[in-house]
Each structure stands twice: as C-alpha cells, then as structure tokens.
Amino acid sequence: MTSFDPYILRKEFPYFAHESAVWLDNAANTQKPQAVLDRVLLSLARASTVHRAVYALAEEATLVYEEARSILARFISAPSKDEVIFTNGTTGAINLFARSLYLSGKRAGRQGFRIVTSVLEHHSNYLPWRMLADEPGVEIIIIGHDGLGIDMEALAKALSAPCDLVALSLCSNVSGAWLDSQQAAKLARAAGAVLFLDAAQAVLHRAICLDDSVALPAGGIRVAADALAFSGHKMYGPDGTGALWVRGDLLQDLVPVTFGGEMVRSVDDSAIDLQPPPRRFEAGTPNCSAILGFAEAARWLLQSPRDEFRAHEEGLGRMLHDELSALPGARLYSVPGPLISFTLDGWHTHDLALFLDREGLCLRAGRLCAEPFMRALGVPALVRASLAAYTTREDCMRLVRALTLAKAAIPGRACLARFARDSASMH
C-alpha cells in the first residue's frame, strides 16, 4: 500500500457526497470528478458549433474543440493530434476502423483480408471482425488463451502466414491480464499486419505512451500499435465519448464510412473533396459538451499522480485477490490486480449480485460482454469487482464481509433456476 489517501481524492467526486453504495463497477463506468461535470455544464450553457461559422462564439468553440483533441493526443503520447478521431466510444471507434480498413484495402485492389483476433476479446473488439468475416474473401482466425491471458505461442503460429490485421485487447475486461504489445507488434509486423489494440480497460490504470521519442510517464507503459481505441466513461469522463488513434501514414489511406456535414471541403455533381484526417471521419455535429468533458477527464488524469493511483489500485487489488482466494467456495478467474472476476459456490452470479446490492455494493455480474471467453473458461457467467483510484480498503473489506455472509445464505433451487432461465438476455 502507499501513502496515497483515496478519501482526500473522493472530495472531488460528487458521487461520494450523495451516495452510500460502494462503487465496485469501474471497469464498466467510473464516477466523474466535479471538474469534468463543470466543463460539460459550461459547454452546454454556451452552446455553439465547431468548424462551421465565423462568429466569435463559434470560433471559440472550434478552438477549444481542437484543444481537446490535443489533450487526448497528449494523454496517450500520440505523435500528432491529427491522428486522433473523436468517436462515441470504443465500440464506435472499432466499428469505424474495421469498416474503413476493409474498404480501403478493397478499393486498393487487395484480394482477401485475413484477420487474427482472440477468444479473450470484449464483444466490441470481436463482433465487428466476425461480421466482416461474412464478406467475400475475408478470413478470421481466433486464437485461444493460456489460462487468463492471450496465448502468445498461438498468436505466433497464426502469424506465421501473411496477415492483414491483428485485433487484441491491451487489458482484458474479464481477467485483467495485460498483453505484451511489443511482442504482439513484432509478430504482426513480421506478418505484414496492422496491429489494433482495444485500450478501453487499460487507460484507467496505466499512462499509455505510443511515442517512443517522449519520456515515459511515471507508472506508464510503452505501447506498440498501429491503431488504438478507448472510451471516456471508463477514465472518469462522460458517457458516449471515445477516441480512435491511427498511425499517421495509415490514417491517410483510410476512407470514411459515415458521410454528412463538415467532413468535406466541397461537393458538386461529379466529385467529393474530403477534408483531411481526422475531420473527414467526424461527419455531423459532434457532441461537443461531452467531448470537452472527455478532454477534461484526460487533463485531470495528466495532472494527477498516476503512479500513486496505480500503486494504490494494484495494492488494493492484490489484497482483495488474496482475501477472496482464501474464502471457501470462491473461485477466481483474474490475475492479481484492480479487476477481480469470481464465482461463489452455490450461487448463480445474478443472485449473488442482487445479494451484494442489498448489502450496499455495486458489482457487475453476467457474461461481461465477453461470451466467447466465458465459454473458453468453462463458466456461464462471472461476478466482477473493479477498482479505481477512489476505491478504499474499507470498500474491499465490505465486499469480503458480504461474501462471507452470502456463503452462509445460499439461495434455494427455485431462485437459482429462475435466474438461470432469465440470464440468457443478461450480458
């Protein structure tokens, strides 16, 4: 543990002044600091438009919008702000990249399209590629796991033949295992493939550095990739915000898949002159207030002691992992760290989540939007506790005490059967 005090940090988050429930679902959504809420409200109170008008308020809005792009680029140490595309989240970013990359290759006359991904992926980094497999000439290879992480030997084997794309999670939303992106990039490049990383779970816990020429932030990690996506709501920012980063030379070759206002320079009856990237990928009126809140969350993190955040989260995660490992009947499916996935003998996961809710704890239960990984692990569903910088030791111990109570209060078969029947639609 560190000298970092999460109780002092909590004073910046209105949630903890108004709610009593222990928030342990940070892998799904994080609470927001007042600075982010203030930035969103300020933008809503002075509504304007960007890249479209010449009056002063619009010029100001355009400047702060592009400043937000610069902040997000700095947040991941991207070489240029013009490599950052605003999206409505990681899901939107991956779908944009998937369609754009495929269509760009098709227009260039590429025959076939070979994709390698893994069984560990969140549905957002699985379904877009699976849907592409329905297109003529597209082949998808799905590699397995080595227990809780990606099977790197299987990845090397899959990439012993030429490949177009490798799509992997930087950090699993189920097991918390981190990918060795440097090794993955080496294998992908040897196969002639583009490496895409889903960083939705990663950005909360580690400072991401994509540019090898800049100093590594304290507690940060150097990441090798050709493209990467992440979401605002998983890093103390607003819902419905995200970013897609694409390496500059690759971005120039991509074609847009959404068309509308402000993504073109001019249009006539015979030609369309597109804006340069990233604007050609941002058709329509952007969600400016949320995007500015997204950038404010990134700024807030850039100004925070992220190395202390990381040490605090990992220390608590290891402690909680050890406590649950020692609890009779608890089975863990995650590496020691700030994300702990588990089951408890005698309990259906949804029953257990409801029991924990009655004890004042908010945890995720279900397939965690990672059904292929659930199947590979041999479990129908899991309960997941996920920590953040504001999580306290008392939060974790309340979970341990509640699970100890649950162990002594296993529900009847009728209740279990009902939830087993109803859970088919719960992910």
Average pLDDT over residues 281-309: 96
**39: pLDDT strictly greater than 70:** yes
Verify that 123 and 21 share a domain, yes or no: no
φ, ψ of residue 392 in degrees (nearest 5): -115, 165
Q: Same domain, yes or no, for 129 and 256?
A: yes
Tens digits of residue pLDDT in 396-419:
999 999 999 999 887 654 455 445
Please report the pLDDT score of residue 49 as a whole number.
85
Of all residues in the chain, the percent with pLDDT exceeding 90 is 89
Q: In this model, does residue 35 exceed pLDDT 50?
A: yes
Number of domains in the chain: 2
Q: Is the distance from CB of 229 to CB of 334 less than 8 angstroms?
A: no
Last residue in a domain, options 302, 331, 353:
302
Residue 64, C-beta contacts closer than 8 angstroms, at least 6 positions apart: 292
| pLDDT in the model for residue 332 | 98
Distance in angstroms (rounded) separating the CA atoms of residues 76 and 221: 10
Please check whether residues 155 and 227 belong to one and the same domain.
yes
Active site residues: 369
Looking at the structure, do residues 379 and 296 belong to the same domain, yes or no?
no
Confidence of residue 219 (pLDDT cuts 50, 70, 90): confident
What is the reported pLDDT for 2? 54
| Residue 281 pLDDT greater than 70, yes or no | yes
CATH of the domain at 319: 3.90.1150.10
Average pLDDT, the chain: 94
Q: What is the pLDDT of residue 427?
A: 58
Instruction: Give the mean pLDDT of 29-49.
Output: 95
Q: What is the pLDDT of residue 413?
A: 43
Mean pLDDT computed over 220-249: 98
Domain annotation covers residue 323: yes
Please give the pLDDT value at position 414: 40
Task: Label residue 128 exposed, middle or buried (CB < 10 Å: 0-12, 13-18, 19+).
Answer: buried
| Residue 44, domain CATH | 3.40.640.10
Which of 261, 281, 302 is the last residue before a domain boundary?
A: 302
pLDDT at 1: 45
Indicate the DSSP class of residue 167: E
Same domain, 278 and 323: no
Tell me the per-residue pLDDT of 83-93, one tens digit each, with 9 for 90 and over.
999 999 999 99
Q: How far is CA 11 from CA 15, 115, 302, in A?
A: 9, 46, 18
Kind and range of the H or E run holding 323: helix 306-325
Peptide bond into 278 cis (omega under 30): yes
Buried-state track 200-239, b at ≥16 Cβ within 10 A, e below 16:
bbbbbbbbbbbeeeeeebebbbebbbbbbbbbbbbbbbbb
| Residues 312 and 293 both lie in one domain | no
| Residue 50: band (very low, low, confident or very high) from pLDDT cuts 50, 70, 90 | very high
- Confirm whether 291 is domain-assigned: yes
Backbone angles phi, psi at 293, to 5 degrees: -65, -40
In a domain, 1, yes or no: no
Structural domain ending residue among the three candidates 274, 302, 330:
302
The residue range of the domain holding 414 is 6-31+305-425
Query: Does 420 have pLDDT greater than 90?
Result: no
